[in-house]
Amino acid sequence: MTRVRVHNFAVSLDGFASGEGQSFETPFGHAGHRLMGWFFPTRSFVEMTGHESESVGSGTSGVDDAFAAATSVGIGVEIMGRRKFGPQTGPWENEDWTGWWGPEPPFHTPVVVLTHHPRPDLQVGETTFLFRDASPQQALEEAVSLANGLDVRLGGGADVVRQFLKADLVDHLHVVEVPIVLGRGERLWDGLEGLEERFAIESTASPSGVVHRVFSRLSR
C-alpha cells in the first residue's frame, strides 16, 4: 500500500514555511537558511550533498539526523510545487534553466512538478521532472503509477502540503518547528482547523532547539 509522506517540513513558531521575497538567490525569502539550519549539520544532509566541511565533518548523528535519514527510505517518487523547482511564475521564459538543484538533483526518482504551465519532461542527472497541471488526486494517481510500489514523498511548498492535507491524502507528516518568529511569508496551517482529529501526533524536542512533530494518519 503506497503511503504519502512529508518529511523535514520546517515552520517557524508563527507557522510560516517560507518567508517573503523568494528569488533565485533566496529560495526561502527573508527566512534565509534559518528554517533549515537544523538540517545542514546532519550526516544525512552531508552525504546527500557531499558538502563535508571543517565545521561539521561527516555530520551529526543525533535525533535530527534520525529524522533526516528517514526522508528517502522507501520513496519511489516525489510531488512538489513549482516553486520548489524554481522561483519563476507565469509562463516559462527560459526552459534551459533546469531548476535549483544542480546537475545531480538529490531526488534520483521521477518528480511530479505541479504547475499551471506544463513544459516537456526534463531529465537532470538521475532525476526526471514531469510538469503537470493537475489536482492533488490526479497528481497522486500518476505518482503512484511511477512509484514502483514504493511511497510518494510530498516535497512542499506549504501550498501543496496544505492542499493535500485538505484533501486528506497525507499519511505521514513530519513537521519541524524552528524557534524563530518570521512575521510574514507563507503559512502552513491556514484552513486546516481540526486537523489533529485525523492524526496521532508525537513530539520530540531536539538539543538543536527544534521540535520534531510526527503526524500519523489514523486508520480510515
Residues in contact with a second copy by the rule CB under 8 A: 13-15, 177, 179-184, 187, 189-196, 201-206, 209-211, 213
Least Å from the CB of residue 220 to a second copy: 19
**Do residues 133 and 123 touch, judged by C-beta distance below 8 A?**
no
Least Å from the CB of residue 204 to a second copy: 6
Residue 14 vs 168, nearer CB to a second copy:
14
Among 25, 58, 21, which Cα is nearest to 42's?
Answer: 58
d(CA 104, CA 107): 9
Residue 96 vs 193, nearer CB to a second copy:
193
Least Å from the CB of residue 200 to a second copy: 10
Least Å from the CB of residue 100 to a second copy: 26
Least Å from the CB of residue 187 to a second copy: 8
Overall size of the chain counted in residues: 220
- The backbone region for 153, taken as left when phi is positive above 0, alpha when psi lies in -120 to 50, beta otherwise, is beta
Residue 101 vs 189, nearer CB to a second copy:
189
Residue 74 vs 183, nearer CB to a second copy:
183
**Do residues 105 and 124 touch, judged by C-beta distance below 8 A?**
yes
Residue 37 vs 99, nearer CB to a second copy:
37
Decide the pairing of beta strands 127-132 and 110-114: parallel
d(CA 185, CA 18): 6
Q: In the chain, which ranges are continuous DSSP H helix?
A: 43-49, 63-69, 82-85, 136-146, 158-166
Give residues with Cβ within 8 angstroms of 168, minimum separation 6.
198
Q: What is the CA radius of gyration of the chain?
A: 17
Residue 77 vs 158, nearer CB to a second copy:
158
Least Å from the CB of residue 21 to a second copy: 13
